[in-house]
Amino acid sequence: MGHPSLITIENLRFERDDTTVVSCDQLHLDVGEILQVEGPNGSGKTTLLRLLTTALQPSEGTILYCGKSIAQCRLEYLSDILFIGHQSAVKLMLTAEENLLWMATSELSSTAVLDALEALGLAGYSDIPCYKLSAGQQRRVALARLLVSDARLWYLDEPFTALDRDGVKLLEWCMSDHVSSGGAVVVATHQDLDVQGVRHYPVLGETLLRACP
Amino acid sequence: MRKQASNSFYAYLRRDLLLSYRRLGEAASPLIFFVMASTLVPLGMTPDLASLAKIAPGIIWVLALLATMLSVGGLFAGDYQDGSLEQLLISPQILVMPVLGKVTAHWLITGLPLTLVSPLLGLMLSMPEAGYLPMMASLALGTACLSLLGAVGAALTVSLHKGGMLLALIVMPLYMPVIIFGGATVQYGIDGLIWTAPLAILGAMLAAAIALCPLAIASVLRLTSIN
Amino acid sequence: MNWVWFYRLGSPLWFYQTTTRWLPWLGLLAFILLTIGLVWGLGFAPQDAKQGNSFRIIYMHVPASFLALAGYFLMATAGAIGLIWKMKLSYMVMKAAAPIGAALTFLALFTGAVWGKPTWGSYWVWDARITSMLILLFLYFGVLALQYAFHNEEASNKASAILALIGTVNIPIIYKSVDWWYTLHQPSTIKLTSAPSMHPDMFQPLLVMILGFYCFYVVALCLFTRVEILRRERKTGWVGDLVGELNGSTEGKRQ
C-alpha cells in the first residue's frame, strides 16, 4: 500500500429519525475504477451519493479523499468532483449552450461547449430553449457536462434515465474513457454496464430489511 | 481557470435576471398585483379623495409588502425542483455570494419596479405631493429589506412544496419593523417633518440585513434543503 | 473542566428519570406559591387609588408576559444548543417550549384586554406593549407552523431552531420599532405605560406570583418534554420497559 486510495470510506453511517439509511463499513475507490452502486429502490443509493458529494453530513464515520478527510479539504475536494443527480439541474428556460456555460465551474470557450453538445448528438440544438427538447435530449444536455469538466471523480445518480440505446452506449464510452485517463466513477444504476472493470457494490438500507421479514 | 467568488454573485444575478426575462409575464405579476390590489381600497372603502389621501401611505406600503412576500416564495423553489440547488450546495465556493446574487435579482425584478410604479398609486389614492419622494426612497430601501428577510423564509420552506401561506406566517412578524419605518418616512414627508430620519433607520436595517440574511439563508439551505 | 454533567444532560433517559423524581416536589412548590400569591394578591393587597380592583389582573398579566418573552429566548437557546452540539434533548425542550410560550403570550394578551376595558374603555388598544406582545404571539405561531410542516424530524428541528434564533435577533428590533411607532402616534390620553413605583404591599404578592409562574413554567416544560421524549424514543428499550411496567401495574390493580 504505497499511497492512499482516491476515496476511502470508514464506518460511514447515516441516520434519519433514528433509522439507519446508509451504513458502509469499508470502501475504497482507486483511480481507474468504476464502482456500480446497486440495490433496490429505497436502499439508500442516492443517500450514499449525497454523502459522497457532501450534500449530506454523515452521522458517524469519515470519507477520506487521498487520505485527507473531505471535511478538512472541502473546497479542494469539491472542485475535483462532478455530480449529476436524478434531477438534472438543467434550466428549461435556458438553451443547451447557456446551461452548459452556466453550470461549468471554470471558464469555458463556446467552441468547447458546442463540441461537447455535438459529441452527444445535440448538434443544431444548442440555441433552442431546453423545454422544447425531449426528456432524453435534456438528459444528454446534463451529461454533456461530463465532457467539458476537468473533475477527476464522477458521481452519477441514475444517469441512464430516459436515454435511448445510442445514448447509453455513448455514456458507457464516456465513463471508460474517463477512467482510462486517470479518473474514477461512482454510478448508481440498475442497468448492466457494458464496460470493462466495473466493480459492484450492493447497498441494503434498513428500509428493505424491515420490508421483507 | 477557476471562477472567482465575486463572480458567482454576478453569475447568479445574471442568470436569474435572464430567467425572468424569458418569462416576463410571470416576472411582472407582483407589479400587476400591486396596482390591481390598490383599486380594491377605494372600492371597499370610499371614493372620497380626502379619506383616501389620509391612508394612502399605509396602503401603498402594505401592498408593496404583500407583493414582495407573494413573489419571494419562488426564489429557491425552481432551483430546488430541478436540482440546481443541490449543485449549488456542492459547488466549491462560498454560498453567501450566489445567495446574495439571487436576492439582488429578486429585488431588481420586484422591489425596483414597485418603487418606480408607486407614484402612480400615489396619484390614484390622491396622496399629498410632499410624500412622493419619501415614498420612493423608503420603498427602494424597504423592499430590499423585505426581499432579504423573505428569502430566509423561502429557504426555510423550500423543501416543503407548500410555499405561500406558511412562508407568510413565518416572515410577516419579521416584516413589521420595516413597515413601521417605511410608513413613517412617508408620513413624515407629508407632515413636513425631517423624513430622512426614519429613512436612515431603514437604511441601517438594510445594512444589517445585507450582512446577516445571506449567512442565515446559506446555513438554512445547507441544513434543511437536502434530506 | 469536568463536562460529564453537560453530556449527561443530553441523555433523554437521564432527564426522564431525574424529572420523575423532582417533578412532584416542583409541582407542589408551584401550587403553593401560586395559591399564596393569588389569595394574597386578590384578597389582601390594597386597592389601587386610580384603578380600583381592576388592577389586580396584573397578578396574572405581569408574570405571564415575563415568561412569554423569557420562554422565547429559552426556546431559541435550546435550539442553538441543539444546532451546535447536536443534542437531541435540547431540540425536544425547544419543541416543548413553543406551545407553552404561545399559550402564555395569549394569556398575557387576554388579561391585558380584560384589564383594558375598565381602564381604557376598550378591549383592544394599539398600545406599544400590547402590540409587541401580539407580534411575539405571531413569532410563536411561525415557529409552531414550521415545526409541524416538516415530516422529517431532523429537518423540522433544525429549521425551527434557526427560525427561533432569527426571531431572537429580531425581537429587540421589533420592540424598539413598536415603541418608537407608538410614541409617534401617541394618543393624548393618560399615559399608563410607565407604571408608577408600586407600593410594597402590592409588589410582594406580585413577586410571589412571578416565582410561582416560573415554577409552573418549569413543571409544564418538563411535562411537555417528557411527552416528546416518550414519543421520539418509543422504539428504544427503556420506553418499552416503562410501558411494560405501567401495563403490569394496571393489570395488577385489576386483579
What pTM was computed for the model?
Answer: 0.89
Chain B residues closer than 8 Å to A86 by CB: 83
Residue A135: count of CB within 10 angstroms of its CB: 11
Chain A residues closer than 8 Å to C152 by CB: 16-17
Give the 3-state secondary structure of residue B120: helix
Q: Smallest CA–CA separation between A46 and chain C, in Å? A: 17
A18 touching chain C per CB within 8 A: yes
Asked whether the beta carbons of residue A17 and residue C153 sit closer than 8 angstroms, the reply is yes
Give the pLDDT score at C251: 56
User: Residue C46 pLDDT more than 90?
Assistant: no
- DSSP 8-state code for residue B160: G
User: Residue C189 pLDDT more than 50?
Assistant: no
Give the pLDDT score at A208: 43
Range of the domain at C135: 23-188+200-235
User: Residue C27 pLDDT more than 90?
Assistant: yes
For residue C249, what pLDDT band results from cuts at 50, 70 and 90?
low
Q: Rounding to the nearest 10 degrees, give the CA dihedral for residues C139, C141, C143, C148.
A: -170
Dist. CA A189–CA A192, nearest whole Å: 8
The cell numbers describing C239, all together, are 420506553
Give the pLDDT score at A209: 44
Give the pLDDT score at A1: 46
B216 touching chain A per CB within 8 A: no
Q: How long, in residues, is chain A?
A: 213
Taking CA C245 as the corner, what is the angle to CA C242 and CA C249, rounded to the nearest 5 degrees?
A: 145
Q: Each residue of A131-176: pLDDT tens digit?
A: 998 988 999 999 988 888 888 899 999 898 888 888 899 999 999 9
Total structural domains within chain C: 1
Helix/strand number for chain A, H first, E second: 7, 9
Domain-embedded: residue C13? no
Task: Tell me the three-class secondary structure of chain C, residue by residue.
Answer: CCCHHHHHHCCHHHHHHHHHHHHHHHHHHHHHHHHHHHHHHHHHCCCECCCEHHHHHHHHHHHHHHHHHHHHHHHHHHHHHHHHHCCHHHHHHHHHHHHHHHHHHHHHHHHHHHHHHHHHCCCCCCCHHHHHHHHHHHHHHHHHHHHHHCCCHHHHHHHHHHHHHHHHHHHHHHHHHHHHHHHHCCCCCCCCCCCCCCCHHHHHHHHHHHHHHHHHHHHHHHHHHHHHHHHHCCCCHHHHHHHHHHHHHHHHHHC
User: Residue B150 pLDDT more than 70?
Assistant: yes
The cell numbers describing A34, all together, are 468504476
Section A62-69 average pLDDT: 88
Give the pLDDT score at B169: 92
C84 touching chain B per CB within 8 A: no
Contacts of C97 (CB under 8 A, 6+ apart): C71, C74, C75, C78, C221, C224
For residue C197, what pLDDT band results from cuts at 50, 70 and 90?
low
For residue C2, what pLDDT band results from cuts at 50, 70 and 90?
low
Between A183-197, B32-46, C73-87, the lowest mean confidence (pLDDT) is in A183-197
Section B75-82 average pLDDT: 90
CA dihedral for A68, A73, A74, A75, sign (positive or negative): negative
Asked whether the beta carbons of residue C177 and residue B177 sit closer than 8 angstroms, the reply is yes
For residue B115, what pLDDT band results from cuts at 50, 70 and 90?
very high
Give the pLDDT score at A212: 38
Task: Indicate the residue type of C86.
Answer: K
- From the list A49, A37, A14, A16, the residue with the least C-alpha distance to A203 is A37
Domain-embedded: residue C249? no
Task: Please give the backbone phi and psi of residue A197, each rounded to the nearest 5 degrees, phi first.
Answer: 70, 40
Chain C residues closer than 8 Å to B216 by CB: 162, 166
Nearest chain A residue to C157, by CA: A17
Percentage with pLDDT > 70 across chain A: 93
B14 touching chain A per CB within 8 A: no
Dist. CA C57–CA C118, nearest whole Å: 12
Q: Smallest CA–CA separation between A132 and chain C, in Å? A: 35
Chain A residues closer than 8 Å to B87 by CB: 83, 85, 89, 103
Pairing of strands A60-65, A153-157: unpaired
The cell numbers describing B183, all together, are 410608513
User: Residue C112 pLDDT more than 80?
Assistant: yes
Q: Is the ipTM of this complex over 0.85?
A: yes
The region that residue C63 occupies, defined by phi over 0 for left and psi between -120 and 50 for alpha, beta otherwise, is alpha
Most confident of A185-199, B22-36, C46-60, C189-203: B22-36
Name beta bridge partners: A106.
B2
A touches which chains (3+ CB pairs under 8 A)?
B, C
Name beta bridge partners: C137.
none
Residue A59: count of CB within 10 angstroms of its CB: 17
Domain-embedded: residue C99? yes
Pairing of strands A60-65, A7-16: antiparallel
Task: Tell me the three-class secondary structure of A178-199, residue by residue.
Answer: HHHCCCEEEEECCCCCCCCCEE
Structural contact between residues A67 and A9, judged by C-beta atoms closer than 8 angstroms: no
Domain-embedded: residue C112? yes
B54 touching chain A per CB within 8 A: no
H/E stretch holding B174 reads: helix B164-191
Most C CBs within 10 A among A18, A19, A21, hence the mutation to make, goes to A18
Structural contact between residues B167 and B72, judged by C-beta atoms closer than 8 angstroms: yes
User: Residue A213 pLDDT more than 60?
Assistant: no
Dist. CA B79–CA C168, nearest whole Å: 29
Chain B residues closer than 8 Å to C159 by CB: 156, 220, 223-224
B touches which chains (3+ CB pairs under 8 A)?
A, C
Residue B28: count of CB within 10 angstroms of its CB: 14
For residue A211, what pLDDT band results from cuts at 50, 70 and 90?
very low
Dist. CA A189–CA A205, nearest whole Å: 16
Domain-embedded: residue C101? yes
- From the list A124, A128, A161, A127, the residue with the least C-alpha distance to A142 is A161
Dist. CA C86–CA C25, nearest whole Å: 31
Taking CA C52 as the corner, what is the angle to CA C48 and CA C53, rounded to the nearest 5 degrees?
A: 100
Q: What is the mean pLDDT of chain C?
A: 85
B10 touching chain A per CB within 8 A: no
Asked whether the beta carbons of residue A129 and residue B82 sit closer than 8 angstroms, the reply is no
Q: Which residue has 409617534 as its cell numbers?
A: C184
Please identify among residues 171-190 of chain B the ones whose CB lies closer than 8 Å to any CB of chain A: none
Q: Each residue of C3-24: pLDDT tens digit?
A: 666 666 678 888 888 888 999 9
Chain B residues closer than 8 Å to A76 by CB: 92
For residue B113, what pLDDT band results from cuts at 50, 70 and 90?
very high
Asked whether the beta carbons of residue A102 and residue B227 sit closer than 8 angstroms, the reply is no
User: Residue C119 pLDDT more than 60?
Assistant: yes
User: Residue B90 pLDDT more than 50?
Assistant: yes
- DSSP 8-state code for residue B83: T
Pairing of strands A60-65, A68-69: antiparallel
Q: Each residue of C210-243: pLDDT tens digit?
A: 999 999 999 999 999 999 888 888 777 777 788 7
Domain-embedded: residue C17? no
A16 touching chain C per CB within 8 A: yes
Give the pLDDT score at A210: 43
Structural contact between residues A17 and C154, judged by C-beta atoms closer than 8 angstroms: yes
Residue C234 C-alpha from the chain's centroid:
26
Q: Each residue of C122-152: pLDDT tens digit?
A: 888 888 888 899 999 999 999 999 998 988 8
Q: What is the DSSP string of B26-51?
A: HHHHHHHHHHHHHHHHHHHS---HHH
Domain-embedded: residue C170? yes
Exposure pattern of C60-76 as b/e (b: 16+ CB <10 Å)?
bbbbbbbbbbbbbebbb
Dist. CA B198–CA A164, nearest whole Å: 63
Which of B15, B87, B227 is opposite residue A89, by nearest beta carbon?
Answer: B87
Dist. CA B189–CA B186, nearest whole Å: 5
Give the pLDDT score at C53: 80
Which of B3, B22, B82 is opposite residue A105, by nearest beta carbon?
Answer: B3
Give the pLDDT score at C255: 45
User: Residue C35 pLDDT more than 70?
Assistant: yes
- DSSP 8-state code for residue B97: H
- DSSP 8-state code for residue A17: T
User: Residue A186 pLDDT more than 50?
Assistant: yes
Q: Smallest CA–CA separation between B96 and chain A, in Å? A: 15
Task: Indicate the residue type of A63.
Answer: I
Structural contact between residues A38 and A201, judged by C-beta atoms closer than 8 angstroms: yes
Section A46-54 average pLDDT: 90
Give the pLDDT score at B1: 40
Dist. CA C160–CA C149, nearest whole Å: 10
